[in-house]
Amino acid sequence: MNDIQWLIGGEAGYGIMTTGIMMSKIFTRLGLSVFDYVEYPSLIRGGHNAYYVRASDEEIYCQKRTVDILVALNRETIDKHKHELFENAAVIYDPDTIKVEPNEFASSVLLVPIPLLESTKQVGADKLMVNTVSVGASLALFYSDFEILRRIMEDTFGRKGENIVYLNVNTSKAGFDYVLKNFSKKFSVSFEKKPQKNILIGGAEAVAFGAIRAGLKFASIYPMTPINPILTTLVSSALKYSIVVKEPEDEISAISMAIGASFAGVRSMTATSGGGFSLMVESLGLSAQTETPLVIVEGMRPGPATGFPTWTEQGDLRFVMHAAQGDFPRIIIAPGDVSEAFSQTLHAFNLADKYQLPIIVLVDKYLMEGHATAPIENFKALSSKYRIERGKMLSDQETEGMVDYERYELTDDGISPRSIPGQKGGIGFSGSDEHDERGLYNEEADNRIKMMDKRFKKLEFAIREFPAPVLYGKKDAPLTIIAFGSSKMPIMQAMKWLEKEGIDANLLQVSYLAPFPGAAVERIIKSAKKTLVVEGNKTGQFEGLIREHTGLVVDHNFRKYDGRPFYPEEIVAKVKEILCQNLKI
Amino acid sequence: MSELKDLEITYDKPNWCPGCGDWAIWVSLKNAIVALNLNPWEVVLVSGIGCSSKLPYWVKTYGFNGLHGRPMPVAEGIKLANSGLTVIVIGGDGDQYGEGTNHLIHAARRNIDLTLIVHNNQIYGLTTGQYSPTTDIGEKNKATPTPTVEAPVNPLSLAISAGATFVARGFAGDHKRETDLIVEGVKHKGFSIIDSMQPCVTFNHKNTYTWFYERVYKVEEKGHNPKDKAKAFALAEQWPLRLPLKEGEKESIPTGIIYKEERLTWGDGILQIAQAPLVKQSVEEIDINPILEELK
């Protein structure tokens, strides 16, 4: 089994992101399982950027601690990351620009000095293209056919014209040839090309693709890390799929426009992070009160205020759960990986329309900006199976002869037939005041109770189509880990590693968080031997939720709030610590 | 095609104070919809919160009563989703010139094809009489211990400079003229604002009907050409005043179409709705396989 992690580090502005994706693409086309993760500060030029790409010929779920190939575009990268180097690792650097002492590394480390800057000059490229030379150099360490990279360059830069393709192919080829000539077979790992079954997809792309497939027609999104790739992905498909994607003046406008578009009858969405969501809060209640379907993606990053803008956290769970004045129904779904980001976004749009309420898709920086491989057939199958369900939306024919239509008609399931502007017999009123069945403001006590109960009744029916929380791993494992959202990825990795050591742990992943599936979670916890909640926030927001809805206290917790995602190594250590304690007892 | 009776609702009637300027604007709006031959089901009235924002309850068209200050972006979303609708935003001075000014500015610069009617009574009525963004400088009421020293928002200059392409001032004391302005505003392709002076008979004891009658004049009677931007701006700057009036002087308040310009609307630039409104486009058989393949 080969399992390596490649890392490029350097100043922002040197194409670190592009290079990282390029590397992920190489591994993907080699038929490997890939995961990438980027760390960067909140600025455009300067500062330290680090892009990790892990690849393996068996299935992997996330990044790991150790690095096998380090590309250092500056000296700072070596200082910051040399302690991460695994045995037999390779370090690619330019001896003309970085001073390196051989004795600063372990003896097994392979130093790969390459004239990166000089190579760019020789092919007539800009000095900013040193990163491209390093991609070719990296490839040559573990694979001997340059064609794979040439194809990627053509696919990536073809639209930008022949000259750009030519420059990229030649700069990367220069690095490739240099390493092949001088360091052939010196690196400890080599890969064979396997049939490619996967695509490489980012969490944000998966959300956007889900939305497109779900029939999204309107999106208004104000830029904010980490959901910007949703905006850019939607924009690049906007003309092809006839979707209006707008960048409004602020987040209040973003959610309001989406509500307006939905009221007018099209599927709409917005996306933001915690700060922007703070501005959207009042309108979240508006969506619920007017019973206007809405999908909101909230990408968590560490708060409060500006917080830690480019890092990750799971600290907004309680916020999105309780945001806005008063009691109203909402649904919160937290996908755990790219596949769930796609499938649960598809579901979110159907739920919004069928139950006429706001759906929050709760994600985070780690899931949004990372990429992972997943079988393309899975996405195609989900896509072809999907049916757009618009619930009780009235057709033009149905409204044609209607008189005295009432927008908030009381029904057995709490869901009222919905007309849209333009339908002749469907003239109706949507009001943010408490209203009667016609939508007219109404301050009577009995009407208030009827309308509150009506709105909440919808949830009783919605939860019937929630998938049950999933228990991954062996049912009778001595430890049950409980988590939500992106923590799933490092936990799944940890479980796999533990299994190899003969240690079993299973994972209870709760994706549908509101309404909380209390009964199902209670059942699983009661049959678990020991429990551990893993979540990325300081106060145990998820752990408290479990207690609130099950009355049960979990045995252990592992919380992280340093802006970094969980590492599988940390979870492995935590699990061992808990199980060893048990042995002592 | 509609008649006044088609716009009436039977189960409720307006609850504005007797004599409130909102009545006249309500009547004017209904008359305008009839005069424009609009189908009631193809009209959407979108409002915020405040006395004036209750207006859509009492007109039988589609209606959306949202949040204070936020009707504009809701209306923009409606218009972009269904460009075939006539979208009219109803707000007050607090709604549009206080809480929601940011949205007003951006809607104006985008030149989205909708009409904004601002019921401007220079006071917060529903909350019982605090000063508003358009309260005259030097006024004293329950929200200020001394006469206010804040210069009022000038809605007309603000709208012109923000990029609105139809800027008018109406007055509830002349509902026929208000009707005509609404008709022209709705007919205009682009962002229209009609700042409608509307005396609050309960809480604003200064800017009364009589006070306005003594000060308003019709710009067209002075030969104003609304396409003359410099002149329009000068007219807009006549009132409200940013300094207290000197002894013996009296305000002069221009009404009518102050500024008009033809410019591409926001919708004109959106290729996705060039053939049909979004809401009329089919969402069956969406094939994402091509974009999935690109991720190989």
Per-residue pLDDT reduced to its tens digit, B183-229: 999 999 999 999 999 999 999 999 999 999 999 999 999 999 999 99
Return the half-sphere exposure (C-beta side, CA atoms, 13 A cut-off) of residue A538: 6
- Which residues between 61 and 120 in chain B have a beta carbon less than 8 angstroms from any beta carbon of chain A? 61-67, 70, 72-82, 84-85, 102-103, 105-106
As to burial, measured by CB atoms within 10 angstroms (0-12 exposed, 13-18 middle, 19+ buried), residue A145 is exposed
Q: Tell me the C-alpha distance between A347 and A481, whole Å.
A: 26
In terms of domains, do A41 and A164 share one?
A: yes
- Asked whether residue A32 falls in the same domain as residue A133, the answer is yes
Residues 32-71 of B with CB under 8 A from A: 39-42, 44, 46, 49, 54, 56-57, 60-67, 70
C-alpha dist (Å) from residue B126 to A25, A116, B170 = 61, 70, 22
Query: Cβ atoms within 10 A of the Cβ of A364, count?
Result: 29
Q: What torsion, rounded to 10 degrees, do the Cα atoms A491, A495, A496, A498 define?
A: 130
Rounded distance, CA A350 to CA A214, Å? 8
Is residue A584's pLDDT more than 60?
A: no
Query: pLDDT band at residue A102, thresholds of 50, 70 and 90?
Result: confident
Residues in chain B within 8 Å Cβ distance of A218: 77, 80-81, 278
Collapsed DSSP state (helix, strand, coil) of residue B103: helix
B245: distance to nearest CA of chain A, Å?
37
Same domain, A310 and A440: no
Q: How confident is the model at residue A417 (pLDDT cuts 50, 70, 90)?
A: very high
**Between vectors from CA A64 to CA A63 and to CA A65, what angle results, nearest 5°?**
135
CATH code at position A173: 3.40.920.10
Each residue's pLDDT tens digit, A258-298: 999 999 999 999 999 999 999 999 999 999 999 999 999 99
Closest Cα of chain A to B211: distance in Å?
Answer: 34
Cβ-defined contact of B278 to A266 (cutoff 8 Å): yes
Strand A244-246 relative to strand A216-220, pairing: parallel
Pairing of strands A46-56, A33-39: antiparallel
Do A37 and A183 sit in the same domain of this protein?
Answer: yes
Asked if B65's CB is within 8 angstroms of A205's CB, the reply is no
Tokens of B288: 């994402």
Which of A177, A196, A215 lies at the terminal end of a domain, its last residue? A196
- Tell me if A249 and B102 make a contact (CB, 8 A cut-off): yes
For A283, nearest residue in chain B (alpha carbons): B67
CATH architecture of B4-293: 3-Layer(aba) Sandwich (3.40)
CATH number at residue A489: 3.40.50.920
Q: Domain end: A180, A196, A212, which one?
A: A196
Structure-token match 């915020």, residue found: B48
Distance CA A371, CA A388 (A): 27
Which H or E element spans position A11? strand A3-12
3-state secondary structure A226-284: CCHHHHHHHHHHCCCCCCEEECCCCHHHHHHHHHHHHHCCCEEEEEEEHHHHHHHHHHH
- Give the Cα separation of A50 and A68 in Å (integer): 14
pLDDT of residue A46: 78
Q: How far, in Å, CA of B126 to CA of B134, rounded?
A: 16
Please report the DSSP string for A36-100 in residue order.
Answer: EEEE--S-SSEEEEEEEEEEESS---S--S-EEEEEESSHHHHHHHGGGEEEEEEEEE-TTT---
Contacts with A562 (C-beta within 8 Å, 6 or more apart), sequence order: none
Confidence of residue B50 (pLDDT cuts 50, 70, 90): very high
- Look at strands B130-131 and B123-124 and give their pairing: antiparallel
Contacting residues of B for A427, CB less than 8 Å apart: 40-41, 60-62
The Cβ of residue A309 has, within 10 Å, a number of other Cβ atoms equal to 18
For residue A579, give the nearest of A530, A512, A541 by alpha carbon. Answer: A530
How many whole angstroms separate alpha carbon A544 and alpha carbon B230? 63
Which of B80, B85, B103 is closest, CB to CB, to A253? B103
> CA A277, CA A274: separation in Å to the nearest integer?
5
> Apex CA A29: angle with CA A28 and CA A32, to 5°?
45
Look at residue A582 in the predicted model and tell me its pLDDT.
63
What is the pLDDT at residue A45?
77
> In the predicted model, is pLDDT for residue A386 greater than 60?
yes
- Are B73 and A257 an interchain contact pair (Cβ–Cβ within 8 Å)? yes
* Overall number of domains in chain A: 4
CB A243 within 8 A of CB A235: no
The minimal CB distance from A213 to the residues B49, B77, B288 is found for B288
Tell me the pairing of strands A506-509 and A470-472: antiparallel
Helix axes A162-183, A147-157, angle to 10 degrees: 160
Backbone angles phi, psi at B190, to 5 degrees: 145, -170
pLDDT of B1: 63
Mutate to test the interface with A, among B49, B67, B106 (most CBs of A within 10 A): B67
Q: Is A314 exposed, middle or buried (0-12, 13-18, 19+ CB in 10 A)?
A: buried
Q: From A112, A105, A242, select the one nearest A183 (Cα to Cα).
A: A112
Q: How close is the nearest chain B Cα to the Cα of A252, in Å?
A: 8
Calculate how close chain B gets to A578, using CA atoms only, in Å. Answer: 41
A197: tokens are 């079954």
Say if residue A476's pLDDT is above 60: yes
Alpha-carbon distance A480 to A470, whole Å? Answer: 12
Kindly determine whether residue B80 and residue A218, on different chains, have CB atoms separated by under 8 Å: yes
Token pair listed for A548: 């609130």
Please name which of A313, A326, A281 lies closest in space to residue A451, comparing C-alpha atoms.
A326
Model pLDDT, residue A42: 81
A9 and A134 both lie in a single domain: yes
Query: What average pLDDT does range B55-61 have in this prediction?
Result: 98
Report strand pairing: A110-113 vs A85-93: parallel
* B41 to A423: CB separation less than 8 angstroms, yes or no: yes
Note whether A421 contacts B41, CB cutoff 8 Å. yes
> What is the residue type of B205?
H
User: Is A13 part of a structural domain of the chain?
Assistant: yes
Nearest residue in A to B272, CA atom: A242
Contact A429 B56 (CB under 8 A): yes
Count, in order, helices (H) and strands (E) of chain B.
9, 10
Q: Is A321 part of a structural domain of the chain?
A: yes
Rg from Cα positions in chain B = 20
- Which of A12-21, A332-341, A469-478, B59-68 bottoms out in mean pLDDT, i.e. has the lowest? A12-21
Give the residue on A whose Cα is nearest the Cα of B50.
Answer: A433
Best CA proximity match to B57, nearest among B93, B8, B98: B8
| Res A315: pLDDT | 98
State both tokens at B210. 């009589």
Interface test with A, best of B64, B265, B293 (most A CBs within 10 A): B64
Residues A191 and A97 grouped into a single domain: yes
User: How many other CB atoms are there within 10 angstroms of residue A538's CB atom?
Assistant: 13
Provide mean pLDDT across the span A305-319: 96
Q: Are residues A33 and A106 in the same domain?
A: yes
Distance CA B16, CA B23 (A): 7
User: Which tokens go with A244?
Assistant: 């209006």
Asked if residue A147 and residue A209 are part of one domain, the reply reads no
Whether residue A391 is contained in a domain is answered as: no
Inter-chain residue contact A209 with B284, CB threshold 8 Å: no
How far is residue A479 from each of residues A522, A529, A544, A560, A581, measured CA to CA in Å? 15, 6, 19, 20, 12
* Run of H or E residues at A359: strand A358-364
**Which of A327, A354, A385 is the last residue in one of the domains?**
A385
Domain extents in chain B? 4-293
pLDDT digits (tens, 9 = 90+) for A112-158: 999 999 999 999 999 999 999 999 999 999 999 999 999 999 999 99
For chain A, give the percent of residues with pLDDT over 70.
Answer: 99
Beta carbons of B44 and B63 less than 8 angstroms apart? yes
Q: Is the preceding omega at residue A226 within 30 degrees of 0, hence cis?
A: yes
Buried b (16+ CB within 10 A) or exposed e, A465-477: ebeebebbbeeeb
A449 & A481 share domain: no
DSSP letter assigned to residue B216:
E
Q: At what angle do helices B155-162 and B229-236 cross, to 10 degrees?
A: 150
Which of A19-28, A41-50, B36-45 bottoms out in mean pLDDT, i.e. has the lowest?
Answer: A41-50
Neighboring chain A residues of B86 at a CB cutoff of 8 Å: none
Asked, for residue A390, whether it belongs to a domain, the answer is no
Q: Is the four-CA dihedral A179, A181, A185, A191 of positive or negative sign? A: positive
For residues A291 and A319, membership in a common domain is answered with yes
Q: Which pLDDT band, with edges at 50, 70 and 90, does A98 fall under?
A: very high
The pLDDT score that the predictor gives to residue A583 is 66
**What would the mean pLDDT of A502-527 be, rounded to a whole number?**
98
Q: Give, in order, the Cα–Cα distances in Å from A47 to each of A39, A43, A309, B99, B138.
A: 11, 7, 14, 39, 53
- Measured distance CA(B48)–CA(B69) in Å, rounded: 6
CA angle B88–B93–B94, rounded 5-degree value: 110
Q: What is the mean pLDDT of chain A?
A: 96
Residues A95 and A156 in one domain: yes
What is the distance in angstroms between the Cα of B267 and the nearest Cα belonging to chain A? 10
* Same-domain check for residues A179 and A166: yes
pLDDT band at B266 (very low <50, low <70, confident <90, very high): very high
Range of the domain at A437: 396-464
pLDDT, mean of residues A176-180: 97
- Distance, CA of A514 to CA of A535 (rounded, Å): 17
Average pLDDT over residues B84-106: 98
Nearest chain B residue to A26, by CA: B296
Burial of A576 (0-12, 13-18, 19+ CB in 10 A): middle
- Put the strands of the sheet holding A331-333 in their side by side order: A244-246, A216-220, A267-273, A294-300, A358-364, A331-333, A512-514
